[in-house]
Structure 1
Amino acid sequence: MLFAVFLPVLLAIFIPYLSKWKEKIHTGYFVLLAPLAVFLYFIPHIGNDFTPVTQSFNWIPSMDIGFEFYLDGLSLLFVLLISGIGTLVTLYSIFYLHTSERLDQFYVYLLIFMTAMFGVVLSDNVFVLYAFWELTSISSFLLIGYWNYKERSRYGALKSMLITIFGGLSMFGGFILLTTITGTNSIQEMIQQTDTILSSPYFGLILALILLGAFTKSAQFPFHIWLPDAMEAPTPVSAYLHSATMVKAGIFLVARFSPIFSESDWFFVLVSGFGIITLVWGSFMAVRQTDLKGILAFSTISQLGMIMAMLGFGTKLAIYAAVFHILNHATFKGSLFMIAGIVDHESGTRDIRKLGGLATLMPISATLAFFGTFSMAGVPLPFLNGFYSKELFFDASLELHESSIAFANILAQAIPYLAVFGSIFTFVYSMYLVFGTFMGKKKLDQLPAKPHEAPVGMLISPMILIVGVILIGLFPNFVNSTFLAHTAEAIYGAPVDKHVQFWHGWDSPPLYMSLVVVGIGTVLALTIKYWKNIYQYFPGKLSLNKAYDFLVDQSEKTSARITNSYMNGSLNRYMSLILIAIVSCTFAILWITDGFAWDTSNLADITVHEILIAVAMAVAAIFTIFTKNKVASILILGVVGYGLSLLFILYSAPDLALTQLVVETITVALFLLCFYHLPDLRERTEGKAKKLRNLIISVGFGAMMTIVAISAHSTKLFEKISDYFLETAHDIGGGDNVVNVILVDMRGVDTLFEIVVLGIAALAIYGLIKLRNKKGAK
């Protein structure tokens, strides 16, 4: 599985080279191989006798972090969706994106995103899952902002990243708490400690943090606002990210942790509550849109809310209905996004107000759109898969259990009515989408280009998805026991056996709910022009987007004010703030931990030579404050460094003394070069307040270093490591000079990088000198 997960990103390394031949062969043909290979690799796992598969690969063993992949029914469903829809989207993009586009960048971003999604759904280690999770946010940011010359693309990309990464960081906090409570990073091992997690005082916080990550990624109300703006991405991106992959990552997260959280009544309240609100709000707002992809965006929000609500129900029927609709939604919504892209590609616009009557000009696209939209609307026809999962949703909403929370019982009673209300508007926007685009009067004079049927290559992918819609509709149980039952079992925690059929008899409540939806939905769809003005009053000018824009704008202004308050170009201020922060934090930690210690029992006697050198160093340091000559102050400061070298010699450390002499000589030389260009010290005019502040900072920093040095020497928390070096220096390094062996052998890598840093500094100094000489020559 490791190779399958990383295959797309490995291929991405070669895409910049392969794209050089894009005029002869489209880069997408090379990219197509990766998702197709992954799809074919995982297909054989489908079957009646499926058992979970685990594989582990070490990454950071010291932190118990590794690539621990877990393939069960849930992850298999998502892997096949990611790779299968990814294959079709890549095929579609070959005919959608012209070779004049930056294909190398587009496909590199797409392949990185594929790997990230594979990692999310297969990872059993929560921290590896989080790493892949954030990689999906970053790669989707690049994909949404692919046309970066458009202001709306940049806005949508940034908006999606800010909201989803905010949720991701919250989820990360929940993962840390989970690992602290359970003592493991494995999700499957956490599931085995469900009782421990539920009884923890941090359970409520864990639930809220993880759900926050899921809600932001899956565009649940009120975090749904990023999804419509993400429609500025190329249509292949919309069809891929927003129908089958990224927006379903939050769905996957809730499903994966359902065995832990579903026993809590608050899980039902939060997940089903926000899910049903999202369903209603998304379907209601979809009718308001005039952009084809905007309608589909709010449609996606609504459908995701429906799936989330069913996961919150937690019943066997609801879980099965949720996984069934995940599959169905990917088929009809992916095809509809592609059809919207075809309409835009061939007519030059996605504005439904300018479209109409395209069925005669684009008959194949219109036919595919009719199947897709009618399935999305849940029209009761036996060859449409969307009807089956919607019926199961209605049925599940009628059998919710009683809860110990009063609000949960009220919510359970309201959900069937809200489900019907949201489904009515789902029917309305579906009819609005298909009839407003393909039926009615032609408006060719308003179109930028004369529409015609798309090339066959662009139609293949939506055709395959619509065939999937029909086949699942005709044979719903074909994918039941071999596929969906295993997915539902992975979520529910017990075998799920459900026989799906079209007709349940006249005494079936879901049937009457569907008839209400179709009946009222038809009336509203036919009279839409008479009541659509309601959107001017509700929500009217109220907009969560305005709230988001306000928060972002105020954050930028506030951060700018704070930054400008200290970033004023004054080196003195920068150093003052740094030193104040260091002194404050250090003294605070010493005070809180009672870290100060004083122990002189193991100190050697102080000689006269040492006292004289120390006094000379102190006098030199003090005199640097009062001298007004730059060269004199540098030379006096050098006395401090050379005095330290003498102390090293007295303490029998000639290596350190030699190093100090070299460093001090270079430092003095550099100071002389730099100070030559600074203002004369005699021109400094500092007020008394500034001098007093500098005095306090200097004394405080000096006192801190003294106290830390005394405490460090007086505190023996561990055994001395010096004995180890003395005992092993000869055997390990083959030398008796312990210091040299430490630097060259035992700390060879550290020394290597120290030398690299010095080399880089030397090159920088050489470059500055060369630059100065060139300016002088001019």
Structure 2
Amino acid sequence: MTALHLAIIAPFLAAVFVPILYKMFPNIHTGWFVLAVPAVLFAYFLQYLPVTSNKETVMAVLDWVPSLDIHFNAYVDGLGLLFALLITGIGILVVLYSIYYLSKKTEALHTFYTFLLMFMGAMLGVVLSDNMMVLYMFWEITSLSSFLLIAYWYEREKSLYGALKSMLITVLGGFSMLVGFVLLYSITGTFSIQETIALSSEVVSHELFLPAMLTILLGAFTKSAQFPFHIWLPDAMEAPTPVSAYLHSATMVKAGIYLIARLSPVFAVSGEWMWLVAGFGITTLFWGSFSAVRQTDLKSILAFSTVSQLGMILSMLGVGAAALHFDNLDENLYVGATTAAIFHLINHATFKGSLFMMAGIVDHETGTRDIRRLGGLMTVMPITFTIAAIGGFSMAGLPPFNGFLSKEMFFTAMVEFTEFQLFNVDTFGILFPVLAWIASVFTFIYSMMLIFKTFTGKMQPEKLDVKPHEAPFGMLLSPIILVSLVLVFGFFPNILSYTIIEPAMASILPSLLQEGEQFYVDIYFWHGWTPELYMTLGVIGTGVLLYLGIKKWIGVYRLFPEGLSFNRLYDQTIIQGERMSEKVIGWHMTGYIKDYLLYIFSFFTAALLFTLFYKGAFVVNTENVAPISVYELILAGVLIVSVGIVMFTKSRLKAIIGLGVAGYTVALFFVIFRAPDLALTQLIIETVSVALFLLCFYHLPQISKNLESVRFQAGNFIISAAVGLTITLIGIAASSSRLFDSISGFFPEASYEEAGGKNMVNVILVDFRGFDTMLEILVLGIAAVGIFAMIKLRMAGREQL
């Protein structure tokens, strides 16, 4: 295992020790120990910057299940490194913030940080795995760990609702993505992402290309909260604010963005990919921004803004696919869309992370996040206001912040997309800049709401749960660092151009570069009086007017009936599904073992008998059958009589004796068949069983008179006879037809020569079936521990009485 593999699994290993550290050092906040994990990993991944800047990659190979082509291969290129740095870098700030946000006196910190580290490791596995099956494994771990993080305050009903909602939607999308990976494997014969990219020409021409693309996109859309699957993200805001800042600004919701970017070299040459990615992205951008304005909770506003911003990034990746349809890169203007997508991916992590932390600070220091109860906090929380202003203005796309630069590049991409001459863009392409502009107006409005309705106006102390005051410096440090990056990346954006952005572009659009070439990336503020600048001025002017007159038009949201929402559809689906499942379960889960056996045996006999005769597998061959001795006939008669006694006697003592006779008779059969070890084992088991039955006989209740009068049931008799007939026919057919040479000659020879044992039965149990025997011992051990625990609990209960 290489250092790169260790870097991926390091958070999982650290998570094992979190509960131990929590117990050993109760007076120290557990977050201080956890903080070292993302810090060390961030420093480790920084060493790959020179490698990826030179268009080099690193592949660390580790065979896992080679027979299924599943290998834990870690791959670092520009795109993977970008996400690894985001995951660990933002992870440092989130852990630092959580130390001051979560009290060690009232919170279960060991569970919180265990889940957080699980999520961190899973995200690293997603972005650094070259094998699709390994990527899928980590993908589902992100869904599981995010479920646990969202449900961290499990005593709250809304937390459980949001956690379940997020897991159901993202896990179902993950299953769809798994189908897409299997389809790709059937086309290429490999699960390696890089090998699949190398075979992209074969994938495009294959008949399974479109199904593979659609199923993978469904997984990406659900994970990145694209319309109409966005409904899980606002409900996930019930998680603690550090979770929201981490999962929903820089990591989990970016997993779908990563998947689309990673597989763009395979699918982006098709018009369907471009329309679906760009179309869903621009629709999500509009709907998210439109929905954010109607929210009154700070985190809800930020949740819908995240939906909107994710749609913006996705639309740029979709439009950037147009670059693959030009032969001359110098004439290609569409590469800028991919540049903007990557740049805004970084910018979004900075300003959105700071805004989530700001919302958490306001909630922590005032007791509410409702903007209708807030206002006038600027004077008592000036540093928090500064954080909100910088982050909010950047999100609104105002200069001189980094959000303005990527938003201008976004407008440029949307305008230029209308000039694209393929895939009928000239018909509906005009909708892209129009929707982009309208969505940007709403983005401006909710950004101003976030800032001014919280921090300006008249303070309402009577509506606040606690007296507002500035947060401690430790809680402010992380958002201060993030808004500082907003300013640095705004004034000096080109420090990222050839270290982060251009290498990531080379991973997304590798076919556009010849060996030794690179993309030209130069980000700056002034481009002259361009259409995008006029669009920005229009956004500001219209946004200011609409914000100032918001009370006059906010009623438009009442035109959208709640009963027709996607949330309503989800709730009704869950409710109806639960009702249907209750009916189905109530029909067959009766609580009676006899009913369960009835279902099992009926299906068992019907399926096996049908298969046996349909395939012509029933054969009777008596050539190799040994003659039946008189002793065997006598024992068979005794066995039949003893079983009959067990079935028809009304005396429990007679039933126990009959059961013992049946067991001892089977042991005598083993003696006749020259299997002394089995006979000895059977005798011991029967002796112990009969003795235990007799010992317990006194404590058993008397047989009810109702049971004594139970009538003969023909249905049960038919099924019982059918089971016996089925087993008999299968046994005869198996003995009469030999498809393979008997294995009986292998064991005597292999037991002595290979295992070094003369007792063949013991060798089979210990060596040939070693894992089976070990697991049987494990099961017995678990049962023993469970019985011991129940006895101790019962004794403890008696002592309390």
TM superposition score normalised by structure 1: 0.93
For the residue of structure 2 that corresponds to 1:503, the secondary structure is: coil
Indicate whether 1:464 and 2:481 are aligned: yes
For the residue of structure 1 that corresponds to 2:59, the secondary structure is: strand
2: distance between equivalents of 1:448 and 1:775?
Answer: 44
Residues 602-622 of structure 1 show CA distances to partners (whole Å, capped at 9, x for unaligned) of 333333333343344334434
Q: Is the 8 A contact 2:354 2:483 kept in 1?
A: yes
2:628 aligned partner: 606
Change (3 A) 1:339 1:721: same
2:341 aligned partner: 322
Indicate whether 1:693 and 2:715 are aligned: yes
Q: Is the 8 A contact 2:650 2:708 kept in 1?
A: no
Measured after TM superposition, the shift of residue 432 of structure 1 is 1.5
Question: Comparing 451-460 with 581-590, which one deviates more in the overlay?
Answer: 581-590
1:39 aligned partner: 42
Q: Is the 8 A contact 2:176 2:215 kept in 1?
A: yes
Indicate whether 1:251 and 2:273 are aligned: no
Q: Structure 2: which amino acid aligns with 1:106?
A: F
Q: Is the 8 A contact 2:11 2:117 kept in 1?
A: yes
Correspondences of 1:372-771 after superposition (within 5 Å): 372-379=391-398, 381=399, 383-400=400-417, 410-493=427-510, 494-495=512-513, 496-506=519-529, 508-590=530-612, 595-670=617-692, 677=700, 680=703, 683-684=706-707, 691-758=713-780
Change (3 A) 1:486 1:714: farther
Q: Is the 8 A contact 2:375 2:454 kept in 1?
A: yes
2: distance between equivalents of 1:359 and 1:773?
Answer: 62
Identity, % of aligned pairs? Answer: 52
For the residue of structure 1 that corresponds to 2:47, the secondary structure is: helix
Indicate whether 1:235 and 2:241 are aligned: yes
Change (3 A) 1:85 1:673: same
Measured after TM superposition, the shift of residue 426 of structure 1 is 0.9
2:103 aligned partner: 98
2:172 aligned partner: 166
Measured after TM superposition, the shift of residue 411 of structure 1 is 4.2
Q: Is the 8 A contact 2:645 2:654 kept in 1?
A: no
1:140 aligned partner: 146
Change (3 A) 1:259 1:592: farther
Q: Structure 1: which amino acid aligns with 2:43?
A: L
For the residue of structure 1 that corresponds to 2:73, the secondary structure is: strand
For the residue of structure 2 that corresponds to 1:399, the secondary structure is: helix
Q: Structure 2: which amino acid aligns with 1:746?
A: F
Gaps of 5+ in 2: 324-334, 514-518
Change (3 A) 1:431 1:569: same
Q: Structure 1: which amino acid aligns with 2:101?
A: Y
Question: Comparing 636-645 with 284-293, which one deviates more in the overlay?
Answer: 636-645
For the residue of structure 1 that corresponds to 2:374, the secondary structure is: coil
1: distance between equivalents of 2:632 and 2:485?
Answer: 88
2: distance between equivalents of 1:255 and 1:595?
Answer: 53
Q: Structure 1: which amino acid aligns with 2:183?
A: L
Q: Structure 1: which amino acid aligns with 2:65?
A: I
Q: CA RMSD in A?
A: 2.9
1:72 aligned partner: 77
1:121 aligned partner: 127
Question: Comparing 343-352 with 730-739, which one deviates more in the overlay?
Answer: 730-739
Correspondences of 1:284-363 after superposition (within 5 Å): 284-313=290-319, 314=321, 315=323, 316-363=335-382
Q: Structure 2: which amino acid aligns with 1:7?
A: A
Measured after TM superposition, the shift of residue 22 of structure 1 is 6.1
2: distance between equivalents of 1:289 and 1:775?
Answer: 53
1: distance between equivalents of 2:794 and 2:117?
Answer: 47
2: distance between equivalents of 1:462 and 1:488?
Answer: 28
2: distance between equivalents of 1:189 and 1:232?
Answer: 41
Question: Comparing 96-105 with 302-311, which one deviates more in the overlay?
Answer: 96-105
2:326 aligned partner: none
Measured after TM superposition, the shift of residue 513 of structure 1 is 2.4
Measured after TM superposition, the shift of residue 130 of structure 1 is 1.6
From 11, 16, 41, the equivalent of 2:14 is 11
1:263 aligned partner: 269
2: distance between equivalents of 1:393 and 1:245?
Answer: 22
Measured after TM superposition, the shift of residue 187 of structure 1 is 1.5
For the residue of structure 2 that corresponds to 1:54, the secondary structure is: strand
For the residue of structure 2 that corresponds to 1:398, the secondary structure is: helix
Change (3 A) 1:283 1:69: same
Measured after TM superposition, the shift of residue 286 of structure 1 is 0.2
Q: Is the 8 A contact 1:117 1:133 kept in 2?
A: yes
1: distance between equivalents of 2:790 and 2:153?
Answer: 39
Q: Structure 1: which amino acid aligns with 2:378?
A: A
Change (3 A) 1:768 1:463: closer
2: distance between equivalents of 1:762 and 1:645?
Answer: 27
Q: Is the 8 A contact 2:177 2:215 kept in 1?
A: yes
Change (3 A) 1:669 1:262: farther
Q: Is the 8 A contact 2:237 2:300 kept in 1?
A: yes
1: distance between equivalents of 2:742 and 2:342?
Answer: 60
Residues 382-407 of structure 1 show CA distances to partners (whole Å, capped at 9, x for unaligned) of x311112122222222334868766x
Measured after TM superposition, the shift of residue 301 of structure 1 is 0.5
1:60 aligned partner: 65
For the residue of structure 2 that corresponds to 1:652, the secondary structure is: coil
Indicate whether 1:216 and 2:222 are aligned: yes
Q: Structure 2: which amino acid aligns with 1:170?
A: S
2:136 aligned partner: 130
Q: How many residues align?
A: 773
Change (3 A) 1:28 1:618: same
Change (3 A) 1:192 1:386: same
TM superposition score normalised by structure 2: 0.90
Measured after TM superposition, the shift of residue 169 of structure 1 is 2.2
Measured after TM superposition, the shift of residue 318 of structure 1 is 2.1
1: distance between equivalents of 2:733 and 2:172?
Answer: 41
Q: Is the 8 A contact 1:628 1:682 kept in 2?
A: no
Q: Is the 8 A contact 1:55 1:69 kept in 2?
A: yes
For the residue of structure 2 that corresponds to 1:440, the secondary structure is: coil
Measured after TM superposition, the shift of residue 37 of structure 1 is 0.6
1: distance between equivalents of 2:447 and 2:797?
Answer: 69
1: distance between equivalents of 2:34 and 2:787?
Answer: 46
